[in-house]
Amino acid sequence: MTRTQLFPSLLIAINLASAALYMADGDWRKTVYWTAAACLTFVVTF
């Protein structure tokens, strides 16, 4: 991992943590939203 990939990796982790919290709460719309945000960040970065 390079220095330029550090911040996007942290952002992906935060997005996935948000998705996990919303999944635990039962809010599937926000779970899908935050999972898609993490996937989009991953695709653009790597």
Is the pLDDT assigned to residue 32 strictly greater than 90?
yes
pTM (two decimals): 0.91
CB 31 within 8 A of CB 15: no
Average pLDDT over residues 9-27: 98
Q: What residue ranges do the domains of the chain occupy?
A: 3-45
Q: Give the confidence band of 1 by pLDDT, cuts at 50, 70, 90.
A: confident
Give the list of residues 6+ apart from residue 1 with CB closer than 8 angstroms, or none: 9
The CA-CA-CA angle for residues 39, 41, 5, to 5°, reads 125
Structure letter (DSSP) for residue 26? T
